[in-house]
Amino acid sequence: MTVRLIIDQAVDGADASVIAERSPEGALLDARLDLSILPRLEPLLLGRPVAEVPPLVERLCGVCPAAHHLAGVAALEALHGIASIPAQARRVRRLLHYGSMLTMHATSFFAAGRQEALALRRLGKLAMAAAGSPGHFPTTAVVGGAAGAMVADAATACAESVAAALAGARDLFRWAQDDPAATAERHAASSDTFLGADVALVDADGRLDPLGERLRAIDPAGQVIVAGALASQWDDLVALAQPEAAASRPSLLAGGADGGHYRVGPVAGLRVAAPTTAVAAELREDWLRGGGGTLAARAVMAVHCVEAIADLVAGQDWIGRDDTEPDKTGPAAAGRVGVGWVDGARGLLVHRYRVDQEGKVDQALVLTPTAQNEYWLSRLLIRALTGDSDHLALENAIREADPCLPCVAAPAGHMGVKINTVTKDR
């Protein structure tokens, strides 16, 4: 079957469409954001040589190609049984990832502080250049290593930009945490109503790590549901209720409250664990005391990205050393499954491939943060529709869950939310 993407709609996506299911008596039964605009790419990946898949997916995603690049290469490494990569390769990959995340978080703050946001975006771009990926599509990671060592000029420029970027990021956190215009959004769409789990990647010590090898899940009370699962355990970790749909409704097989549903992203991450860097860890405490919220959480993560970039480019002794050499491996075994993941700006991204005897993909999954947060967004929309039901309440609910949709790029108050009511029997 030929799948045709209507690119006109993707280039300037339709306004946000909320589907409200009501009983014949008018009672609200359910609500969800219409994700049908999002294309399902997996059918298009079947039959392709598996090595071609990550670059293809990253070139189709306009927003976070670096996350797809890193998750895809990690999945390929899993297919080839590569368990570790050289230290410098890990370093440049982290630099790429933090730079990419910083550029994405910066876009949330243009309205609040244009100069601060632009400074964060510039630092993010410099970090990506220092990681060997100056263009939009990254080339940093190769299977088993990296394409090259850190780029000295760009790394030096990063180091020189850090202080100003960190000061700006801290100011943006204070605005997101304290300013009435920002806090109204948080209070209108409080995360406290979510009964599912929070999921994030962590390091071996249980600290927040966007490139962590372990996945941790906690329940609303903070109790650990999954302590530290590896990517290779994915099939025993998560099930998809609707695998063919954009809203695939993943859930944790370990269960937990609310049927195993969970959310990912900055809010989930900061509830799961503290960042590894000092200022961000301190701001996280402030964030927790202030009741949480997506915008302030993004600001904390922006601070963390700046600090992490500073740590990665600090010291000049390693620049020029190139122990990024990839491991040389043969083809992946038929029937083997490879899973790679990263925790991006919007949350956990998972690439899962299975190959046949010719090394071609016969199963593919690209599980995005948007799909994983769809259930959370549904709960937020139900709350908004039960309350004021005005467009601002719905817009705030959508921004809280932050789906990767064109509508969230709209300035505040201009999202254009449409409600489609569907009548259903209970």
- Asked if residues 202 and 208 have their Cβ atoms less than 8 Å apart, the reply is yes
26 lies in the site for another protein, by CB under 8 A: no
240 lies in the site for another protein, by CB under 8 A: no
244 lies in the site for another protein, by CB under 8 A: no
Provide, rounded to whole angstroms, the least separation between the CB of residue 158 and another protein: 18
Stretch that binds another protein, among 58-66, 190-198, 250-258, 324-332 (CB under 8 A): 58-66
Select from 136, 187, 321, 424 the one that contacts another protein (CB under 8 A). 136
Residues 337-366 within binding reach of another protein (CB under 8 A): 366
Residues 279-338 within binding reach of another protein (CB under 8 A): none
Sign of the four-CA dihedral 403, 408, 414, 420: negative
In whole angstroms, give the CA distance from residue 228 to residue 205: 10
4 lies in the site for another protein, by CB under 8 A: yes
1 lies in the site for another protein, by CB under 8 A: no
62 lies in the site for another protein, by CB under 8 A: yes
Token pair of 96 as six digits: 């790429």
- Asked if residues 6 and 212 have their Cβ atoms less than 8 Å apart, the reply is no
Select from 2, 25, 26, 330 the one that contacts another protein (CB under 8 A). 2
**Can you say how many angstroms the Cα of residue 196 is from the centroid of all Cα atoms in its chain?**
18
CA distances from 44 to 48, 133, 326, 355 (A): 8, 26, 29, 15
Stretch that binds another protein, among 10-18, 156-164, 167-175, 282-290 (CB under 8 A): 10-18
Burial class (CB in 10 A: 0-12, 13-18, 19+), 140: buried
Judged by beta carbon, residue 188 or residue 405, the one nearer another protein is 405
24 lies in the site for another protein, by CB under 8 A: no
Judged by beta carbon, residue 129 or residue 385, the one nearer another protein is 129
If phi > 0 it is left, if psi is from -120 to 50 it is alpha, else beta; for residue 261 that is beta
- Where are the alpha helices (H) located in 273-412, listed in sequence order? 278-289, 294-313, 369-372, 374-386, 391-401
46 lies in the site for another protein, by CB under 8 A: no
# binding residues, another protein (CB under 8 A)? 42
Select from 28, 29, 51, 60 the one that contacts another protein (CB under 8 A). 60
Select from 28, 29, 41, 240 the one that contacts another protein (CB under 8 A). 41
**Phi and psi at residue 27, to the nearest 5°:** -70, 140
Map tokens 């990517």 to a residue. Answer: 231
Judged by beta carbon, residue 109 or residue 376, the one nearer another protein is 109
Map tokens 């064109």 to a residue. Answer: 406
Burial class (CB in 10 A: 0-12, 13-18, 19+), 25: exposed
Please tell me what DSSP assigns to residue 331: P
- Nearest CA to 239 among 254, 257, 220, 228? 254
Residues 98-127 within binding reach of another protein (CB under 8 A): 107, 110, 114, 118, 121
- Asked if residues 18 and 33 have their Cβ atoms less than 8 Å apart, the reply is yes
Map tokens 């009964």 to a residue. Answer: 195
Provide, rounded to whole angstroms, the least separation between the CB of residue 126 and another protein: 13
Sheet (strand 418-423) strand order:
28-33, 17-22, 418-423
Select from 8, 25, 317, 425 the one that contacts another protein (CB under 8 A). 8
Stretch that binds another protein, among 11-19, 26-34, 141-149, 269-277 (CB under 8 A): 11-19
Judged by beta carbon, residue 19 or residue 64, the one nearer another protein is 64
56 lies in the site for another protein, by CB under 8 A: yes
Residues 390-419 within binding reach of another protein (CB under 8 A): 404-410
Which residues of the shown chain bind another protein in the complex (CB under 8 A)? 2-8, 10-13, 38-39, 41, 44, 56-57, 59-64, 68, 107, 110, 114, 118, 121, 135-137, 366, 368, 370, 404-410
